[in-house]
Chains A and B, each alone.
Chain A
Amino acid sequence: MRRFDQLAVAVLALVATGIIAAGSLWLGGYDPLVAGAAMFQGSFGSGTAILSVTMVRAVPLIVTGLAVALAFRAGVWNIGAEGQLYAGAIAAAWVGLSWGNAPGWFLTPASLAAALLAGAAWAAIPAFMKVRLGIGEVIPTILMNFVGIYLAAFVVHGPLQENRGVFPQTDLISDAARLSILVEGTRLHAGFLIALLVGVILWAGLRWTHFGFQARSVGASPDAARVSGRIESKRVLLVVFLSSGAIAGLAGGIEITGVTFALYEGLSPGWGYTAIAVALLAGLHPAWVVFTGLLFGGLEAGAGAMQREAGVPAAWVSAVEALVILFVLAGDQIRRRFSA
């Protein structure tokens, strides 16, 4: 029953969003049908679109979506996935460039491991503030996003800048550091499989492990977890927070080693924030995050096409994503009222 309700909420939220989105386009003087068609064509309209654009764009969304879903499940409001992603990207780029001569079987995993650690480190400050000082984590994680973006900017203007010294970006990492392509002739890389793997691990972990149960309990009812479950919330929250940061960092590392092969300013068009929509639409369920991640990947992939063909500004897509969040939240509330 629970699952069916959640699915209904997700579907209705999408429908409501679609209506408002189309309405806003029409008000702005755009043709919603043309825009919609362009978007679909750009995201799911061809094999190339699906494999090289949508699925590739979905990878960071799925991974950050998983990071956010994990955090939210335990009641940790990690709005800092964006900064954690950048931290991971910086670390992966640094490792890839520093040890460019190392063999592939070492370099790629090392880059990703560095990304994991960097993401966790980025989450450590807000985590510490929450657990030790009792400061709500929302503002600190958001603040760290800004710091992360500026740190990346600093790095590409300074220490890690390309040897030519012309553009604010790093050199390309060596072939050894790169993730292999899954389908010949496309841009679909092994990061997609890593994303799925992370999804499976989270799903199994939350469902079957002791720690996963503790995390879920703390998220469902911190008081009951503490009093009846005798669960040490602080330890659980800390581990979840750091893990969430690590996974978001991994997303950054995957982008570097799988898609861009270099770090530059503006690497992420706000994936860390879109991840919230991805996670919520999936009902915070790791398995469903894969699907919603693909959906939003398609959305963002189609945004470029939509701008070219129908002239709709790409920024509008992030507004639509925000609408999805609002409607999912509203749907959940209404569902709760009816079942009470």
Chain B
Amino acid sequence: MITVVAFLEASVRLGIPLALAAMGETITERSGVINIGLEGSLIAGALGGALGALAIGSAGGGILVGAFGGALVAMIFAGFAVGLGTDQIITGTAVTLGGLGFTGAIYQARFGTTGTALTLPTLSSVPVPLLSDIPIIGSALFNQAPTTYFTYLLAPMLWYFVYRTEWGLELRAVGEEPDAAAAAGVRVKQTRFWATVFGGTLAGIAGAHLALAHAGTFAENMSAGRGFIAIAVVVLGRWNPLLVLLAALFFGAASALQFQVQTLGLSVPYQLFLAFPYLLTLLALAGWVGKSRAPASLALPWPKDS
């Protein structure tokens, strides 16, 4: 029983940063933009969270700074890809490289390359009264850092936003047929820009959560490709915020599995564990993709090339 609870708890813990980033990317992709630079937003959020928490003295402050960092990186990406119309894929790759490079450089510049880990004010778990007392799932789901609860609430809100509001209608129209949306009077570039910045903001919060609630420190490249996995999670969740949350939690569970296997004492090489999430993502993409349809204008620049 204890291991089941631990497993569920780990699943949620591992899944939440993915869920946040993936839900953000869902909104971005719904507008027709694929943000490979999400990883850059994530690491910027992590560094921002760390520096912010240290400067302000609280983890909450760190989260805000992290959100801002993620938004900033996304703005740079959107400036090039949406504003100028540069190729989204390569621009996103460059933004991620730049993000990893800059955060690494800033970290090294401020804290040196000695390798002693930073200690940060952490975001501790806050149990939800009543709900956290539910047997088994209670402590797994409802005894987590506040950002986790934020994520739970965000999913249905985003769902409602996308499918039941006029803003969401315009977002979907831009993602499917930007020409049609433009003809109807919708501002395509603006919509895409803000959808992208929103996605980056959530990724920034995810990154800050990683540093402050998950690891308790910052290390270079600590995002470890979660931004890329998040993009795959969006596909698995069929661009639907609720399903994306579920898919992310499922991913968290699969990753948590690797620790269970370790405790069982099987002699599987340590590096295989590290590689596991990426292999799993590949498998999931290969198995699932044929069944859902991406927004029709995804990755296509607007206005189209003359």
Contact = CB atoms under 8 A, between A and B. Distances in A.
Interface of A: 28, 77, 79, 125, 129, 133-135, 138-140, 142-144, 146-147, 150-151, 153-154, 157-158, 270, 273, 276-277, 280, 312-323, 325-326, 329-330, 332-334, 336, 340
B105 A319 contact: yes
Contacts of B278: 143-144, 146-147
B279 to A, nearest CB: 6
A240 B87 CA distance: 20
A9 B63 CA distance: 39
Contacts of B100: 315, 318
A261 to B, nearest CB: 23
Contacts of B80: 326, 329-330
The 4 closest A-B pairs by CB, nearest first: A322-B98, A319-B101, A315-B104, A318-B101
The majority secondary structure among interface residues of chain A is: helix
A333 B85 contact: yes
Interface in B221-280: 224-225, 228-229, 231-232, 269-272, 274-275, 278-279
A276 B232 CA distance: 22
A275 B15 CA distance: 32
Given A154-B272, A318-B98, A322-B101, 8 more contacts: A143-B232, A313-B109, A318-B101, A321-B101, A323-B94, A325-B93, A329-B86, A340-B306
B282 A138 contact: no
A314 B285 CA distance: 35
A322 B104 contact: no
B86 A151 contact: no
Contact of B228 (A143, A154, A277, A329): A143
Interface in B58-110: 80, 84-87, 89-91, 93-95, 97-102, 104-109
Interface residues of B, number: 48
A340 B229 CA distance: 38
Contacts of B139: none
B220 interface: yes
A273 B97 contact: yes
B289 A325 contact: no
B271 A325 contact: no
Interface string B5-30: 00000000000000000000000000
13 contacts: A125-B282, A133-B286, A140-B282, A142-B225, A147-B275, A150-B275, A153-B271, A313-B104, A322-B101, A325-B97, A329-B80, A330-B80, A333-B85
A154 B271 contact: yes
Nearest to A28: B109
B305 interface: yes
B115 interface: no
A329 B286 contact: no
B86 A333 contact: yes
Interface in B145-178: none
Interface in B185-224: 220, 224
The majority secondary structure among interface residues of chain B is: helix
A52 to B, nearest CB: 24
Contacts of A139: 228, 231-232, 281, 285
Contacts of B271: 150-151, 153-154, 157
A316 B305 CA distance: 34
Contacts of B99: 322
A316 B279 CA distance: 30
B290 A133 contact: yes
Contact of A319 (B89, B98, B225, B272): B98
Contacts of A313: 104-105, 108-109, 113
A320 B102 CA distance: 9
Nearest to A77: B89
Contact of B90 (A77, A125, A134): A77
B220 A315 contact: yes
Contacts of A134: 289-290
B46 interface: no
Contacts of B228: 139, 142-143
A134 B305 CA distance: 24
Contacts of A318: 97-98, 100-101, 104
B112 to A, nearest CB: 9
B173 to A, nearest CB: 23
Contacts of B290: 133-134
